[in-house]
Structure 1
Amino acid sequence: MLKSIEGNFDNPEVHELLIKHFIELRSVSPEGSAHVLDIAGLKDPTIKFWSLWEENDLMGSGALKFLDKEHGEFKSIRVSDNFRGKGNGTKVINHLINEAKKLNIKRLSLETGAGEFFLNARKLFSKCGFKPCEPFSHYKKDINSIYMTMLISNK
């Protein structure tokens, strides 16, 4: 059964997963096009972060940043290596969508990379209902970024 814990940055497994996420994304993103947040950034009061667990194993993590009272942005979606390729990315995204619904968010958006490295992420987001869009919030047009959005119903 999937268990969700909000916050939990001090857990060594969560900390390690996030550090790996930051290092990897920064290594494949051109200078000025890396929008990944570090742990201090994820602790911002406008962001809610969850770690997801199957039994006692960290399955993944994800965050929701409030852009305004009805618009949220997904950040730091990551699946642990031993849970990859098994449909768990969809579980993380669905968890975040359900949390957004509870918070009365009506629109979800995200930024991801345009390069080959990010192809699986883009496919996953499309499969979950996200569509390409123009840059939102503070983002600008960038050939290294793809922006996606979806409307959600709170019913």
Structure 2
Amino acid sequence: MPDRLASVGEDSPVRPDVVVLLAEHLADMYATSPAESVHALDPAALAGPGITFVTARDATGTLLGCGALTTLGPGHGELKSMRTAAGARGRGVATAVLEHLLALAAQRGCARVSLETGTEDYFAAARRLYARHGFVECPPFGAYVLDPHSVFLTREVRPPG
């Protein structure tokens, strides 16, 4: 974990600084993809049952990034709302959040974790991050359908220990 990243842990998606970061996330999603292809969740949805929301913060408590894990079904988790604050990009925040969520999925007995992200150039860094962490393309899962603006990724998760 980068030295300026003090912690990644469960948090509330309705905290004021998180709401601002998620509003930026949603605005970028709608600016980049057609509305019907935007699958990002708002803070209220991320606070719903069955979703674990986490943030990365530095030693002063400044929000650096966030992400969420939800359960699709027995043994299958989905990553949602991965976002790094603009001033924290390139510092390993997304990797720290992703690794935390994958460990959490393993602890919860998930055998597989999947996600949806965009196909546009805007999402290239995210796709590279997921590929570096073993995600591969897969067919749509859960309630998703084929969409030229979405790519679906998945990877196996190993139990802890």
1:11-40 superposed Cα distances (whole Å, 9 cap, x missing partner): 221111111111111111113111111112
Question: Structure 1 residue 26 and structure 2 residue 38: aligned?
Answer: no
Contact in 2 for aligned 1:26/1:36 (Cα 8 Å)? no
- Please tell me whether the aligned partners of residues 26 and 40 of structure 2 are also in contact (alpha carbons under 8 angstroms): yes
Can you give the 5+ residue segments of structure 1 that lack an aligned partner in the other structure?
Answer: none
Partner residue, 1:13: 17
CA separation of 1:81 and 1:151: change in aligned 2, threshold 3 A? same
1:52 is matched with 56
What corresponds to 1:134 in structure 2? 139
Counterparts of 1:16-95 in structure 2 under 5 Å? 16-55=20-59, 56-95=61-100
TM-score (norm 2): 0.91
- Distance of 1:90 and 1:153 partners within structure 2: 17
Percent identity between matched residues is 36
Look up the match of 1:100: 105
Structure 2 gaps of 5+ residues are: none
> RMSD value over aligned CA atoms?
1.3
Provide the C-alpha distance between the structure 1 equivalents of 2:53 and 2:41, rounded to a whole number of angstroms: 12
Measured in 1, the distance between the counterparts of 2:121 and 2:31 equals: 13
Normalised TM-score (structure 1): 0.94
Where has structure 1 moved over 4 Å in runs of 4 or more? none
Q: Compute the displacement of 1:99 (Å).
A: 1.2
Counterpart CA distance in 2 for 1:89 and 1:149 is 17
Residues matched between the structures, number = 155
